[in-house]
Amino acid sequence: MSIPVLRTEDITRIYRTGAVEVQALRGVTMELSEGEMVVLLGASGSGKSTLLNILGALDLPTSGRVFFRDLELTRASDRELTRFRREHVGFVFQFYNLMPALTARENVALVTEISEDPMRPEEALERVGLGHRLDHFPAELSGGEQQRVAIARAIAKRPELLLCDEPTGALDSATGVSVLEALCEVNRDLGTATALITHNAGIQAIAHRVIHIADGQIAREEINATRVDPKEITW
Amino acid sequence: MVSALDRKALRDLLRLWAQVLAIGSVLACGVMVLVLGSGTRASLEASRAAYYERQRFAEIFAEATRVPETLLPEIAAIPGVARLSPGIRTTAVIDLPGVSEPVSADVRSLPASGRDPVLNAPLLRAGRLPDPLHPDEVALYAPFAEARGLMPGDRLSAVIEGQRRSLTVTGHVLSPEYIYTIGPGSMMPDDTRFGVLWIGQDAAAAATDMSGAFNSLALQLARDAVAPAVVSALDRLLAPYGGTGAHDRTDQISHAFLQSELEQLGAMALILPPIFLTVSAFLVNMVLSRLIALERAQIGLLKAVGYTTGAIATHYLKLAAGIALIGTVVGWGAGWYLGAAMTRMYADFFRLPWLIYAPSAWPFVLSAVLALLTTLSGAGRAVWASVRLPPAVAMSPPAPPVYRRGLIDGLGTWAQLQQTTMMILRAITRWPGRAAVTVFGVAASVSVLIASFFTYDAMDLMVDEIFTRANRQNVTLILASARNESALDDARALPGVIRAEGAFVLPVRLRNANREELTSLTAHPEHSELSRLIDDKGRQVQLPDYGLVLPEGLAGKLGLSPGDMVTVEALAPPRETWAVPLAATIRQTLGQDAHIAAPALFRLMRQTPQVNQINLQVDATQMDALNAAVKSTPAIAGIADWTRTRSQFTATIEENLSISTVIYSALGMLITLGVVYNAARIRLSERAHELASLRVLGFGRGEVAWVLVGELMLLTLIGLPVGWLGGYGFAALVVQGFSTDVVALPLVVNRQTFAYACLIVLATALAAALVVRRRLDRIDIVQALKARD
């Protein structure tokens, strides 16, 4: 039986803007285990980004509890949450969120400088196939390359948890495949628990497990008996 | 009906209130200084003009030993003379019960007719003027009477021309000749030690043996008169009667002091405003550039729906004008308020009977126009850059900034800098113009502070020069008339005297071709230990055996350089004219008197050495006994107490400086606050997304704040040495603007002054950056990341 890294207990999230109340999550209970790759699939507005933000401690639920191993994130201080993100989580976003003022190598070094046992930035970049673009600024890289820098930055600290929010959303199919390949390799080689959210149903085949989110709830879960190599999917 | 765009401009102003206020205050400082300086000056000038007019302040002044009244028709016949007012002037030592130190006074006569003098009429403040038929009645200079508590009806005893007289006070008066009063041999007004007595003509004539004669003359000129011609004609007529040289108002002590103060105010209104206006122009540019960058899409939309480029540009220029309006109104208010307060302060220092606070309209109009031009020019470039974009381009998000590799990379690798530090360095090199604005603003702050604080350094040096190095006597006795050197032995016999040295001061007119200046020539005895001449390095100047030593300012006015011959006309006996070479010039802090070695002067005069001043080093515990002895010695016309003068001098300066220092410190801090706060806000709004990303990556609040605060503090640090240079240059300007005939401010800036200015600016910049950091701490990470998506 695999060991859960992250679990949530009946979390809800309500946004209030003025008089309007939006219930983004309505009681989500889930787990993410070591070495597992989970795809969270849902339409736009289904609440999957909110869930990912809460998993990564970028946001707190309105009710319910979130645990990272024995640490209850929902009770942790701001300082503990910062440490959690710094030591255990890697993020990959749709729009990369690289520092435009830093080169690819420096963007990765940004994270390795504050981590305890990181890879060398060059090693992380080689792993995503960018060993030859070390000294380029983001503005000098293509979208796929930028996203791969973001992945290198996310994995360089050897995180236990990799959270990816629509990592291929801004990319064409061929480039997207290369990004997914990089993510699968990291998951396989480093055993990083990976949660990937997408509205693109074609991607679900690469996961161990698929969680369908609709209307702020888990609609259903599927376990893929056989995983498909990213190379074999298109959209 | 307010248009939608105008409503937007108004709401933008309200939304950006903190930044608008920061720019507005810097702008307001410039406006305020302009209004304050010129307003105070105009008010003082108006008050003085009204006072001169009403009391008929003379235009030409002359003194002589004894002039028969029969000469008056001849004087009146000089072309250009409109009115003349002869009088008798002498000095007195006043003996007040219970007061040990001698008090000296000017004695002025009032016409025998009982009417006001034709010119320089005293203004009655209390009681009445003396009755011409009662020779024992006296009117007192009001500030002196108040300082000594002498009320009408009180009696006092005075020694006039060697005779002790008992006088009854009839009233208190002010006079346009004594707006600023200074006793013989002293440097500061001291109303307890020096007064003016007005007595009847007959009483004055009897005391001075001047029946049918006068020794002081004031003239008013006809409108078309040529003053120098009148002065020359008058000098020719008075020469046989011991004329000491007629002069116009510029050499009248009270007028000269007030005039130099007015000029300083004018200098203040000229030097400071440009600094504040320039800084605010940059600030407006910074803020509007950012605002417009944020509104790119809206500008595109406005264009897409049919607004013209002109209309959109006007909209943003209105925003700039709004800032100008706020700065102007605040500056006007502060300038008006402080101007009135400062005018009151001057009125207290200068004895004006009333005060008209009447700032003229032009500084208000001018400052408003300048403020408007400043903000519009600041906004112009930013507005132009944005509004000319085609709508489709404007509506799409701006391209991400492009960074290039450069020197910074080598530095980063070599110094193994943290990536967050690299972000700071790259941001600075990527937008050098913007970094320059921050550096310039910080430098301007440091400059203003240094230019304000250095005055303490200059004053310290002055006090040290005047009271420690140049004048080591603690008492100077002014003799009623010149005596031979045996007077020194008499002085040594006075109680408490440790050392006595004589000096001889002669009123002279110096001439070089067609330029001439009235001054006094001091003959310094050989091996003088007490009163010494000091050069700008603080070393004692050895007087040459022959030839004059002049202060640089005076030599400049006469167009003289060392080696040139100067014509020296003695305006007191022996009343001869000599040609003497100028041996050297010195930088003299106080006064414009000329110097010569005593033996050289007495050789010229073909006389045995004489003294008319005696400098004493006195045992401080014996001062009371010395004062008592001086009071009963008619040969001594006055006494100057250097210890007391020093403490008064320092107190007055500190009082005046502390006010201006507080004002300028506040102004300097406001610039830093405005610049750093705005820079921080702009940086935060531009980089919110990046900074939020850092938080996501696991950076703590402090580490993220470093990217923001670190950049600003680094720029501040770069600005400091620039400010040192600027401050020194600015101090040089102040020295130039504030030096007058009376005081030549030395240009000296101590290390502490540089350090204080830096500390204040650093602390202010840090405070401004930390205020913005609090905003950063409150940023919602998820929202900030969404903002770009």
Q: Which residue type occupies B674?
A: G
Q: How close A188 comes to chain B (CA, Å)?
A: 23
Strand-pair category, B163-174 with B636-641: unpaired
Contacts of B435 in chain A (CB under 8 A): none
Q: Is the pLDDT score of B472 beyond 80?
A: yes
Residue of chain A with shortest Cα separation from B427: A101
* pLDDT, tens digit, 9 for 90 and up, residues B57-93: 999 999 999 999 999 999 999 999 999 999 999 988 8
Q: Alpha-carbon distance B193 to B656, whole Å?
A: 22
Q: Which residue type occupies B629?
A: A
Any domain includes B504: yes
Number of domains in chain B: 3
Q: Give the three-class secondary structure for B748.
A: coil
CA dihedral angle for residue B567, residue B569, residue B570, residue B571, rounded to 10 degrees: -150
**Does A122 touch chain B if contact means CB atoms closer than 8 Å?**
no
Asked if B420's CB is within 8 angstroms of A86's CB, the reply is no
Contacts of A53 in chain B (CB under 8 A): 782
Q: Alpha-carbon distance B381 to B104, whole Å?
A: 67
Which of A48-52, A148-152, B336-340, B538-542 is predicted with the least confidence, judged by mean pLDDT?
B538-542
Q: Is the pLDDT score of B789 beyond 50?
A: no
* pLDDT, tens digit, 9 for 90 and up, residues B222-264: 999 999 999 999 999 998 998 888 999 988 989 988 888 888 7
Q: Are residues B575 and B701 in the same domain?
A: no
Any domain includes B119: yes
Share of chain A above pLDDT 70, in %: 100
**Does A53 touch chain B if contact means CB atoms closer than 8 Å?**
yes
**Does B690 touch chain A if contact means CB atoms closer than 8 Å?**
yes
Q: Is the pLDDT score of A61 beyond 50?
A: yes
Q: Alpha-carbon distance B409 to B421, whole Å?
A: 11
Question: Nearest by CB to B419, which of A79, A82, A113?
Answer: A113
- In terms of pLDDT, which residue wins out, B596 or B405? B596
Q: How close A65 comes to chain B (CA, Å)?
A: 19
* pLDDT, tens digit, 9 for 90 and up, residues B424-469: 888 888 888 888 888 988 998 999 899 889 988 988 888 888 888 8
Q: Is the pLDDT score of B518 beyond 60?
A: yes
Q: Which residue type occupies B612?
A: N
Give the pair of three-digit tokens for residue B478.
Answer: 């002014």
Q: How close B671 comes to chain A (CA, Å)?
A: 29
Any domain includes B112: yes
Question: Nearest by CB to B430, which of A79, A101, A114?
Answer: A101
**Does A106 touch chain B if contact means CB atoms closer than 8 Å?**
yes
Q: Which residues contact B169 (CB under 8 A, 6 or more apart)?
A: B127, B138, B139, B140, B145, B150, B151, B152, B153, B154, B155, B156
Contacts of A56 in chain B (CB under 8 A): 696
**Does A54 touch chain B if contact means CB atoms closer than 8 Å?**
no
Which of A110-124, A178-192, B634-648 is predicted with the least confidence, judged by mean pLDDT?
B634-648
Which of B56-70, B494-508, B568-582, B770-784 is predicted with the least confidence, judged by mean pLDDT?
B770-784
Q: Are residues B576 and B540 in the same domain?
A: yes
DSSP letter at B306 equals T
pLDDT-based confidence at residue A73 (cuts at 50, 70, 90): very high
Q: Is the pLDDT score of B788 beyond 70?
A: no
Contacts of A95 in chain B (CB under 8 A): 788-789
Q: How close A83 comes to chain B (CA, Å)?
A: 6
Asked if B697's CB is within 8 angstroms of A101's CB, the reply is no
| B400 upstream amide cis, omega within 30 of 0 | no
* pLDDT, tens digit, 9 for 90 and up, residues B347-362: 777 888 888 887 888 8
* pLDDT, tens digit, 9 for 90 and up, residues B434-443: 888 889 889 9
**Does A168 touch chain B if contact means CB atoms closer than 8 Å?**
no
Q: Alpha-carbon distance A15 to A58, whole Å?
A: 15
Q: Are residues B556 and B653 in the same domain?
A: no
Q: Alpha-carbon distance B712 to B735, whole Å?
A: 33
Q: Is the pLDDT score of B300 beyond 80?
A: no
Average of per-residue pLDDT across A112-119? 87
Residue of chain B with shortest Cα separation from A99: B690
**Does B430 touch chain A if contact means CB atoms closer than 8 Å?**
yes
Instruction: Tell me the CA distances in angstroms from A23 to A41, A102, B126, B386, one per residue in order.
Output: 18, 38, 86, 40
Q: Are residues B574 and B671 in the same domain?
A: no
What does the pLDDT read at residue B590?
Answer: 76
Of B112, B59, B77, B36, which is closest to residue B367 (Cα–Cα)? B36
Of B256, B278, B313, the residue at which a domain comes to its end is B256
What does the pLDDT read at residue A102?
Answer: 86
Q: Give the three-class secondary structure for B571.
A: coil
What does the pLDDT read at residue B1?
Answer: 59
Any domain includes B609: yes
**Does A153 touch chain B if contact means CB atoms closer than 8 Å?**
yes
What does the pLDDT read at residue B233?
Answer: 94
Q: Are residues B613 and B652 in the same domain?
A: no
Q: Are residues B128 and B176 in the same domain?
A: yes
Q: Are residues B458 and B600 in the same domain?
A: no
**Residue positions counted in chain A:** 235
pLDDT-based confidence at residue A1 (cuts at 50, 70, 90): very low
Domain A33-60+71-232 has CATH 3.30.565.10: no
Chain-wide mean pLDDT for chain B? 87
Residue of chain A with shortest Cα separation from B779: A58
ipTM: 0.80
Q: Is the pLDDT score of B391 beyond 80?
A: no
For residue B166, the cross-strand partners are B157
Q: Give the three-class secondary structure for B156.
A: strand
Q: How close B693 comes to chain A (CA, Å)?
A: 6
Of B256, B291, B324, the residue at which a domain comes to its end is B256
Share of chain B above pLDDT 90, in %: 36
What does the pLDDT read at residue B120?
Answer: 94
Asked if B789's CB is within 8 angstroms of A82's CB, the reply is no
Q: Are residues B247 and B99 in the same domain?
A: yes
Asked if B785's CB is within 8 angstroms of A97's CB, the reply is yes
Any domain includes B215: yes
pLDDT-based confidence at residue B397 (cuts at 50, 70, 90): low
Which of B29-33, B171-175, B387-391, B420-424 is predicted with the least confidence, judged by mean pLDDT?
B387-391
Q: Are residues B557 and B685 in the same domain?
A: no
Asked if A78's CB is within 8 angstroms of B701's CB, the reply is yes
Give the pair of three-digit tokens for residue B521.
Answer: 């020539």
Q: How close B779 comes to chain A (CA, Å)?
A: 12
Q: Are residues B190 and B68 in the same domain?
A: yes
- In terms of pLDDT, which residue wins out, B526 or A65? A65
Asked if A82's CB is within 8 angstroms of B699's CB, the reply is yes
Any domain includes B407: no
* pLDDT, tens digit, 9 for 90 and up, residues B149-178: 999 999 999 988 878 899 999 999 999 999
Chains A–B, number of C-beta pairs less than 8 Å apart? 85
Each domain of chain A, given as residue ranges in start order, spans 33-60+71-232
Give the pair of three-digit tokens for residue B701.
Answer: 């609040």
Asked if A85's CB is within 8 angstroms of B697's CB, the reply is yes
Of B668, B714, B275, B283, which is closest to residue B446 (Cα–Cα)? B668
Q: How close B725 comes to chain A (CA, Å)?
A: 32
Q: Are residues B565 and B455 in the same domain?
A: no
Where is A55: in which H helix or E strand?
Answer: helix A48-55
- Edge-to-edge strands, sheet with A89-92: A89-92, A161-165, A193-198, A37-42, A209-214, A217-223
Q: Are residues B84 and B233 in the same domain?
A: yes
Of B256, B284, B301, the residue at which a domain comes to its end is B256
Question: Nearest by CB to A85, which of B405, B690, B698?
Answer: B698
* pLDDT, tens digit, 9 for 90 and up, residues B114-128: 787 889 999 999 999
Best of A60, A96, A114, A166 to substitute, by most chain B Cβ atoms within 10 angstroms, is: A114
A235 alpha carbon, distance to own chain's centre: 20
Q: How close B427 comes to chain A (CA, Å)?
A: 7
Any domain includes B519: yes
- Structural domain containing residue B751: 431-472+643-789
What does the pLDDT read at residue B720?
Answer: 95
Q: How close A101 comes to chain B (CA, Å)?
A: 6
Question: Nearest by CB to A110, which of B430, B697, B782?
Answer: B697
Any domain includes B403: no
Chain-wide mean pLDDT for chain A? 90
**Does A181 touch chain B if contact means CB atoms closer than 8 Å?**
no
